[in-house]
Structure 1
């Protein structure tokens, strides 16, 4: 079985009678529940430290393990989508997420809670690529922008309200309610999916290459784990640079393996299409900036402006809401005008926002931070889905699962790298400032600690600005694309 036959088999499903609206509705509900869950725990970590009597280095595994599982699982979803139907994949993903949520809500000890989070992450890791692949299959290229915009609304809006919702819950209820309240939402998502979701691809069941799965797990898992732990342990620890080195070596072997076997689990021949490759590089760079900014901003709000976790969540909420509103608008504009009129101005807004972030001080007002955050996320919304849709539109149908798996995997890796890089730059800048300016660097005063944090943040945002300028330069080369099938149809 080769790639070409995969494509033909996948397209043999009759899509003429498919009702797209209910399918998109089912996908959106599932995505919203799963992605909202990713940011719910942030404000609860201090309470969980007290509840389970474990140190922060241990409680951090609730987020590190989540990222790690998704980073390991997403690369093999392209292969899984060729073995199972759309309904089987999505319902299994939501089922895993539901079970993980129940386990987490009832957890009597930390180990059980961590197990629940891992099961949740397995569901999320399976679901996101299936969702994007389904959109690509059921919508023609000229209508994909609007559909991807709706998905973008969920992907950006859900994590934006997560910190606010969790802050509100933690102010008045137990941490368990973070999971209890998600259970009925997950159940509704399963019911809606079971009723409305239809199979849009036909399984071809290619040969499973166990060595590729092993190399993928070690490669992507080692890199995500190493960069995630660097913020906690520092770069000098063997656990950090050792796992990154092992992961990098395994990743090189994985790439070689995928290019040399007949049925790769992640078909890297997608990189033969130049606009897809350009978009992958662009989004890798952009997501480094986005993930790191989303990590640094709460630290500034709580550490420098002395806000509570709930208030910092409220401060970041307007940007997330505006981003969610902009996502479907950007999708419709993309369908009408193509990517350039959105991507280039969007990247310019990102550059402006990051420059403004380099100027923030401990005396900056919350309103000023809200304004910059809104500018940043408007820019991100003009780039994310239009760029992804442009890159995926150039791929032939049989490469859709592989293209979505590549994009989702590299976003997880870039998020881990970006967060670790920017946190380490901030920490180093803070230490250098206190060393040179504090009256007693070993025991700096609260005011000196705030100024040290601001100095470290400035260093991080300057690097972020440089990365954003690089993204803008890459974005200048983006063009509207057409799939090979569409080009062949027009030629005929």
Structure 2
């Protein structure tokens, strides 16, 4: 039954891809000119200045396989299947978090490393993908990435402790960190700019449908079997994708063989990991603790050193000059906001539904299903709309919807109706789906082809870092504010408080217990209610911050202008 469920999800995913790729194929000019034996040259925006080009290597670049020698559908099937399961894995275990907390005997702040740690490894590794793509090619990278992801999934499924589980999670993250930048760069290479809206919308099925469907599927598996099956079931899918990669995958990217910037990699790794650890631990030991301050300081200093080096070295690990393109920079900012807001609900709602409301993992996962389906459907539609009207209208409308729906989550109570939460999340998903893929398409469309790999790596790095730091920050806010609310409540819950005496008396009479015993039981009951309400208020406070971020995202969205690429295949 478990494999049938996974088969259903993958079949639905394949149908969505097939339909949308068929639509793209009808507009593909490559098929209309059979006499053209050369790979079409994609249009590029005019460079701002000569300093923005990536320094050329002394090694003669290796040209990719020509369009006549590979099948787009096969290559994209391999990449999108791999990316789908790797992104699905980010949220597949969200509804299993309460069960894993019990099995591994760890706190909420520790268990959130399952999500944030995985995303951080992605974020740390993604900056290196620009170098990897220009050195090893798409075929080798797919094989290495899927092998790493599959091995990591196997380790997670049999892990006897949380430490071993995190080792498997890190190995998973290394593989997943390669797949998304590679997929994006391949899309940019094989589709001309005026087709990228719909094409990237198809890729959006992976980026928004996979993380959204994860909680529903994960809830069913956890309730019916065990959370370990969430990871063991990924192993055969990974093996299948490896077989398809061996048979179908070709090298479609140009190889320039740049030098590896070791110090840049060291600074970025130390900086990103220190920042996340500091933010995460703040929820356990406080923002003013020496440990948190040291890690945050080391993280900020390392990031500054990374930026300084990348701006001065001849062949940077990550070309930061992509930020000289205004539209690209604006889309990066909005992308960070949207990612943080999107993952906030995916992390906080399962905790609220299961820990406070007592819903099963399947029920909490099923609540997210309508939003998941809507996001999968809206990806290609939003891409087609983007091709016609550009990004600004989509971004403004999407952020307004997201902010309004997020505000409704600040009003959660112990009695909020299940149907109301479902409706709010679905509306929120509509707003997110209007923004996600058009953002990436608009930003990358402005970059010249030589900066595609760096622009893709930067975009995915910021997405993963925003998701990691944002999730850690919001969970920390939830924990901190819960403690504040609980301290406020417990300060008035005393046997000497006249109001409490009246409530204790009523509870004692209702329990039909002796006065002294009844008072103790009543006091415990009131403490339990206070703890529950403090937890709910802590979650509400986190959603207040998420709402504020969505509103702030509207500011850069208003400054976005449309960049219309020419439809000719000639170089401007």
The answer to whether the superposition gives a TM-score over 0.5 is yes
Quote the Cα distance in structure 2 between the aligned partners of 1:46 and 1:312: 12
Aligned CA distance change for structure 1 residues 293 and 52 (closer, same or farther; 3 Å): closer
Q: CA deviation at 1:329?
A: 1.3
SS in 2 for 1:73: helix
Q: CA deviation at 1:456?
A: 2.5
Match of 2:261 in 1: 209
May I ask how many residue pairs the two structures share in their alignment? 489
Match of 2:327 in 1: 275
Match of 2:64 in 1: 13
Match of 1:130 in 2: 182
Compare 455-464 and 258-267 and name the one that shifted more: 455-464
Q: CA deviation at 1:12?
A: 4.0
Aligned CA distance change for structure 1 residues 213 and 94 (closer, same or farther; 3 Å): same
Compare 155-164 and 55-64 and name the one that shifted more: 55-64
Compare 196-205 and 455-464 and name the one that shifted more: 455-464
Q: CA deviation at 1:49?
A: 5.2
Q: CA deviation at 1:219?
A: 1.2
Compare 369-378 and 442-451 and name the one that shifted more: 442-451
Match of 1:220 in 2: 272
Q: CA deviation at 1:152?
A: 1.4
Task: Note if 1:160 corresponds to 2:212.
Answer: yes
Quote the Cα distance in structure 2 between the aligned partners of 1:476 and 1:60: 34
Match of 2:37 in 1: none
Quote the Cα distance in structure 2 between the aligned partners of 1:246 and 1:374: 40
Give ranges in structure 1 of 5+ residues lacking alignment: none
In 1, are the aligned partners of 2:116 and 2:468 still within 8 Å (CA)?
no
The equivalent position to 1:3 in structure 2, one of 34, 49, 54, is: 54
In 2, are the aligned partners of 1:152 and 1:385 still within 8 Å (CA)?
yes
The equivalent position to 1:388 in structure 2, one of 430, 440, 450, is: 440
Counting only pairs closer than 5 Å after superposition, residues 276-315 of structure 1 correspond to structure 2 as: 276-315=328-367
The equivalent position to 1:421 in structure 2, one of 473, 483, 499, is: 473
Quote the Cα distance in structure 1 between the aligned partners of 2:570 and 2:231: 51
Aligned CA distance change for structure 1 residues 121 and 488 (closer, same or farther; 3 Å): same
Compare 281-290 and 251-260 and name the one that shifted more: 281-290
Q: CA deviation at 1:375?
A: 1.0
Match of 2:556 in 1: 474
Q: CA deviation at 1:58?
A: 6.0
Q: CA deviation at 1:55?
A: 6.6
Match of 2:541 in 1: 459
Q: CA deviation at 1:401?
A: 1.1
Task: Note if 1:323 corresponds to 2:405.
Answer: no
Aligned CA distance change for structure 1 residues 464 and 54 (closer, same or farther; 3 Å): closer
In 2, are the aligned partners of 1:87 and 1:198 still within 8 Å (CA)?
yes
SS in 2 for 1:36: helix
Offset from partner CA, 1:216-247 (integer Å, 9 cap, x none): 11112212232233334432333333222101
SS in 2 for 1:202: coil
Task: Note if 1:336 corresponds to 2:388.
Answer: yes
CA RMSD between the two structures: 2.7
In 2, are the aligned partners of 1:10 and 1:201 still within 8 Å (CA)?
no
Quote the Cα distance in structure 2 between the aligned partners of 1:151 and 1:8: 33
Quote the Cα distance in structure 1 between the aligned partners of 2:165 and 2:539: 33
In 2, are the aligned partners of 1:15 and 1:138 still within 8 Å (CA)?
no
Match of 2:462 in 1: 410
Query: For the pair shown, which has the larger CA radius of gyration, 1 or 2?
Result: 2
Task: Note if 1:379 corresponds to 2:426.
Answer: no
Aligned CA distance change for structure 1 residues 489 and 316 (closer, same or farther; 3 Å): closer
In 2, are the aligned partners of 1:86 and 1:198 still within 8 Å (CA)?
yes
Offset from partner CA, 1:454-474 (integer Å, 9 cap, x none): 333332222222221111122
The equivalent position to 1:431 in structure 2, one of 467, 473, 483, is: 483
The equivalent position to 2:199 in structure 1, one of 147, 153, 161, is: 147
Give ranges in structure 2 of 5+ residues lacking alignment: 1-52, 495-522
SS in 2 for 1:262: coil
